Amino acid sequence: MEPVHISKTEFEGSDWQELLEEEGIEAILVERLEELDSLTPEEAPNIAVLDMAVLTASDMQECVERCSSLKLPTIALVPQNLVSALNIRLELDDFVSSPPNSEELVTRVKQVLWRTRSEQSDDIIRVGDLLINPSSYEVVLRGRRVNLRYKEYELLRLLATNPGRVYTRDALLSTIWGYDYFGGTRTVDVHIRRLRSKIEDAEHPYIETIWNVGYRFRDVSGA
């Protein structure tokens, strides 16, 4: 679906719902708890937008719980003066300050929907905060999409699918690049270094170097 380019204007209710509908996304604006009463999992929209400007704290909590039972993703509209008062223990999928920037809201909604659909997919590879979608060749780290080159993605998918297994540089070279590739194993090291720079930091190491042998993906199943 082609992205919709929207001017940066303030809008309310039906305006942003129409913008989301142009993207094929059905959203419900929740200003009263009763608006969720008639929803069922089979007939629920794609996402619920909770208006913190009119919902009480207790109603916000109830809305989030009801949406969770409906498997309905939630995003909150939070007035600027109430951002610091947002309860961080609310299990919201995301929030945006209101009045919202239209492009930001549409992008955040699409990101929430992609993330929740990915988490529900059976073929998704999950390692901590890292999600790898073999169907779409997409990688998401802590809710943000990671742009990988094809060989970097193939390396990540292979290693993450077999955590704890040590791969020699020669094995990685032949598996990812093919037996007829004339480059040396240094190619593997370069791609691993680039991959690490995109998915790792000091607190989130994923790929371990096995000196004089090769690499393995950390097995965090028991962590």
Give the model's pLDDT for residue 62: 93
**Which is it for strands 125-127 and 27-30: parallel, antiparallel or unpaired?**
unpaired
Task: Calculate ∠ Cα 206-208-211, nearest 5°.
Answer: 170
Helices (H), the chain: 13-22, 57-69, 102-120, 150-161, 169-172, 186-199
Provide the domain limits for residue 168. Answer: 125-217
- The domain boundary, picked from 97, 120, 143, lies at 120
Q: For residue 5, is it within any domain?
A: no
Residues 54 and 22 in one domain: yes
Q: For residue 186, is it within any domain?
A: yes
- The domain boundary, picked from 68, 101, 120, lies at 120
Global confidence as pTM: 0.51
Residues 36 and 57 in one domain: yes
Residues 87 and 19 in one domain: yes
pLDDT in tens, 137-160: 788 888 788 889 989 999 999 999
* Amino acid of residue 20: L
- Reply yes or no: is the peptide bond before residue 3 cis, omega within 30 of 0: no
Q: For residue 1, is it within any domain?
A: no
Torsion angle in degrees (nearest 10) through CA of 51, 57, 62, 67: 30
- The domain boundary, picked from 120, 136, 156, lies at 120
How many domains is the chain partitioned into structurally? Answer: 2
Residues 18 and 114 in one domain: yes
Buried b / exposed e along 160-196 (16+ C-beta atoms within 10 A) = beeeeeebebebbbeebbeeeeeeeeebbeebbeebb
- Cα–Cα nearest to 47, from 106, 118, 119: 106
Residues 211 and 178 in one domain: yes
Give the model's pLDDT for residue 158: 94
Dihedral pair phi/psi, residue 165, rounded to 5°: -80, 130
Q: Do residues 66 and 37 touch, judged by C-beta distance below 8 A?
A: no
pLDDT in tens, 163-176: 999 999 999 988 88
Q: How many helices (H) and strands (E) does the chain have?
A: 6, 11
Say which CATH number the domain at 170 has: 1.10.10.10
Percent of the chain at pLDDT above 90? 33
Residues 140 and 199 in one domain: yes
Residues 68 and 136 in one domain: no
**Confidence tier at 22 by pLDDT (50, 70, 90):** confident
Element (H, E) at 121: none
Percent of the chain at pLDDT above 70? 87
Task: Determine the Cα–Cα distance for residues 115 and 124; give it in Å rounded to an integer.
Answer: 11
